[in-house]
Structure 1
Amino acid sequence: MRALRITLILLVVLGGLFVLADRVAVGFAEDEAADRIKSTEGLTATPDVSIEGFPFLTQVVGGELDDVKIGIKDYEASTGGTGSSADTIRIDDLDAEMHGVAFSGDYSSATANSATGTASISYAELLKAAKPEPVDVGFGIKTQVTGLSDGGDGKVKVAVEVTVPGSKAAKTLSVLSSVTVSGDTVKVHADSLPKLGVQLAEGRIRSITDFQQKIEQLPGGIKLDKVEAAPDGVEISVKGSDVRLVG
């Protein structure tokens, strides 16, 4: 009985040491991965990296991690242009979960079999995609999109400032718009057009109310999937396959 107790105690101690070693190893790997992702993506801040699953060491021996979660607070995505600050758009709280992450023997590269995630774009940031200056849509009427907000039921409320010749002050109208994703582009399309008091071609009015924002070069090559209006901005779902984390 005494020998059995000693054996059990040794097993418990060894098990505890293994768990401790496993947690130390995964913590080191998470820090190393975060630094490499920061360097690969050119981030200004170190992302959060969490390697899921236990034990970690047996996953390392197999050369593939089950799941890796990555969180990037602020990410400057490309809009496809060149030469100005308007050529990027800030993506907030980009959280992605990578599945089946295979890595090279020297850990210089890592690729996820698939990835899913979420992110958001503030209304102030999305507003930059609208025309920045008032536009004459006909008969001297000048219009400009001045604000975006949550319209409820998955819609975006678009505030349109209208200045009519001879009037003392501009007035603000609002329209509810649908927001969708087409490829790498977020599109805002008015469900109905504001009443300006005169007959104008629909295309002229939509040249103001409708706009779009291209979003390219997301981390690892993940792509836009879906978008929906939310209280503080638009929420985006992303997905991808063969997503390269580092290397």
Structure 2
Amino acid sequence: MAEVYGSARPRKRWGRRLLITFVVLLLLILAVLVVADRMGASYAERVIGDRVTEQLTQQKATSEKPKVSIEGVPFLTQVLAGKYQEIKIGLDNFSGPAGNGKDIKMPLLDISAKDVDAPLDTVRTGNGDIVASTVTGAGTIGYANLAELTGQPGLKLSERGGKLVGAAPIEALGQTFNASGTANLEVKDGVVKVTFANVTADGLPDIPLVRSLVDTYVQKLAFDLKVPALPLDLKVQKVQPTAGGLVVTAGASNVSLSSGGL
């Protein structure tokens, strides 16, 4: 019996060593796959960032180096399937021409492309089309920058109760009065049309002559906010006044990324 017991112990140790070796090899393979997955994602993110930078240059816009993030793991399975869940692009300190030698500035233009169809052969050869089902973007224009774009001296813009409010000095009857009014915002063909209504001024007499002066002044305050060309064919869809500035939301559908993205 002693000989049988003694011969079983080495086999048991050998089996344990084999199991440990298998686990170690499995972990090494997983580690290699994870590294390869992240390296592949990093390479793709750099390529996308370079393409976006090219678009900005063509549109005479500027920003810091694009921050690109391909969402969803593992990345390599998305490559093989030719389907990407979401690609995020962050453009810090975005600036673009708005006409009359002035620029619209956004501390951050945040872009998201979802449901990207990118066949493996197209990615590998560069032939074919890569399309994102939807692309959205959002950025905030500071009120100081927004007031500068109007070209109206002394105009100050702010948010009050979810509305855009403008205030500026107005000359009437040989005196200067502080007038303020609420802005109406309308987005049409990618242009934000800004008009003011319900303009009042403390101490200003409510007589026809003065009212006519105020109405003329209000008409001069109206302006069109032309948001510069944005990457990936984004078009302005909505604007919302907030405490930090005017939030601009843009979007596009079925956008080709072949020339400006992946």
Call closer, same or farther: CA 1:117–1:70 in 2, change over 3 Å: same
Q: Deviations over 1:202-227 (max 9, x none)?
A: 75243133322122421110111211
Give the drift of 1:201: 7.4
Give the partner amino acid of 2:71: E
Distance 1:243 1:146 in 2: 38
Aligned to 1:138: none
Call closer, same or farther: CA 1:44–1:121 in 2, change over 3 Å: closer
Distance 1:28 1:145 in 2: 49
Which residues in structure 2 correspond to 1:1-20 (within 5 Å)? 1-2=15-16, 3-20=18-35
Aligned to 1:139: none
How many residue pairs get aligned? The number is 229
Aligned to 1:135: none
Call closer, same or farther: CA 1:237–1:37 in 2, change over 3 Å: same
Consecutive unaligned residues of structure 1, counting only runs of 5 or more, are: 133-143
Aligned to 2:216: 204
TM-score (norm 1): 0.81
Call closer, same or farther: CA 1:44–1:77 in 2, change over 3 Å: closer
Q: Which residue, 47, 54, 68 being the options, matches 1:39? A: 54
Decide whether the 8 Å contact of 1:148 with 1:156 is kept in 2: yes
Call closer, same or farther: CA 1:40–1:130 in 2, change over 3 Å: closer
Instruction: Give the strand-richer structure, 1 or 2.
Output: 1
Q: Does 1:178 align with 2:184?
A: yes
Distance 1:178 1:116 in 2: 24
Q: Deviations over 1:80-111 (max 9, x none)?
A: x4xx423x422331101111223433358743
Q: 1:54 is paired with a residue of what secondary structure?
A: coil
Q: 1:77 is paired with a residue of what secondary structure?
A: strand
Decide whether the 8 Å contact of 1:129 with 1:212 is kept in 2: no
Distance 1:209 1:45 in 2: 33
Q: Deviations over 1:174-216 (max 9, x none)?
A: 2222334233112333241225532317752431333221224
Decide whether the 8 Å contact of 2:63 with 2:95 is kept in 1: no
Distance 1:190 1:166 in 2: 24
Q: Does 1:161 align with 2:169?
A: yes
Q: Does 1:112 align with 2:132?
A: yes
Q: 1:194 is paired with a residue of what secondary structure?
A: strand
Distance 2:154 2:212 in 1: 17
Give the partner amino acid of 2:77: T
Distance 1:184 1:93 in 2: 19
RMSD, matched Cα: 2.5
Give the drift of 1:145: 5.3
Instruction: Give the helix-richer structure, 1 or 2.
Output: 2
TM-score (norm 2): 0.77
Call closer, same or farther: CA 1:130–1:231 in 2, change over 3 Å: same
Distance 1:107 1:120 in 2: 35
Decide whether the 8 Å contact of 2:197 with 2:218 is kept in 1: no
Q: Does 1:217 align with 2:229?
A: yes
Give the drift of 1:22: 0.7
Q: Percent identity?
A: 28
Distance 1:183 1:126 in 2: 19
Give the drift of 1:63: 2.7
Q: Does 1:192 align with 2:198?
A: yes
Q: Does 1:147 align with 2:156?
A: yes
Distance 1:246 1:122 in 2: 33
Q: Which residue, 232, 241, 248 being the options, matches 1:229? A: 241
Distance 1:181 1:158 in 2: 18
Whichever of the two has the greater Rg, that structure is: 2
Call closer, same or farther: CA 1:214–1:44 in 2, change over 3 Å: closer
Q: 1:192 is paired with a residue of what secondary structure?
A: strand
